[in-house]
Amino acid sequence: MTPHIVVDTDVLSFLFRQDSRGELYVRHLEGCLPVVSFMTVAELHLWKARRQWGDERVRLLDRFLERFAVYDSDANLCERWAAITEQCYRAGRPINCADAWIAATALELGCPLATHNARDYETVRGLEVVTAAS
């Protein structure tokens, strides 16, 4: 079975824009099934709306996203999201709503999360974080 890795929105953005920081994560994705949370897809839709992307850029994004499996929400993921959100709140470090969904996805799949913003996930117990320095 191919191992999974959840790709955070920031890393996905680097890869899509061919930002040099994306190259720091390519080795972590090799041999894995890269997964994005439904929340990352929602964030991308917001970006294209706010930035008023043209049809060509939207088509490029759609083609790019075909490389990734999308993990959708279900009752188990919702429970995990709530537990993470509460755990981080009680630790005195509330987590962003979108980040909690992305962390929940990685924990639900039992796989690492590739992110350039490891600090956002410091208080999520049991989450394996892969960064450029890993």
pLDDT for res 1: 56
User: Is the torsion defined by CA of 26, 14, 133, 130 positive or negative?
Assistant: negative
**Mean per-residue pLDDT of the chain:** 94
- Report the share of the chain in percent with pLDDT over 70: 99
Assign 2 a pLDDT band (cuts: 50, 70, 90).
low
pLDDT at position 94 is 96
Q: pLDDT tens for residues 103-123?
A: 999 999 999 999 999 999 999
Per the CB < 8 A criterion, the answer to whether 117 and 8 are in contact is yes
Arithmetic mean of pLDDT, 30-42: 95
Compute CA 13 distance to the chain's CA centroid, rounded to the nearest angstrom: 10
Q: Kindly list the structural domains of the chain, giving each domain's residue range(s) and its CATH number in brackets, ordered by start.
A: 4-130 (3.40.50.1010)
pLDDT digits over 59-97, tens only? 999 999 999 999 999 999 999 999 999 999 999 999 999
Report strand pairing: 129-130 vs 113-114.
parallel
- Rounded to two decimals, what is the model's pTM? 0.93
15, HSE (Cβ side, Cα atoms, 13 Å): 24
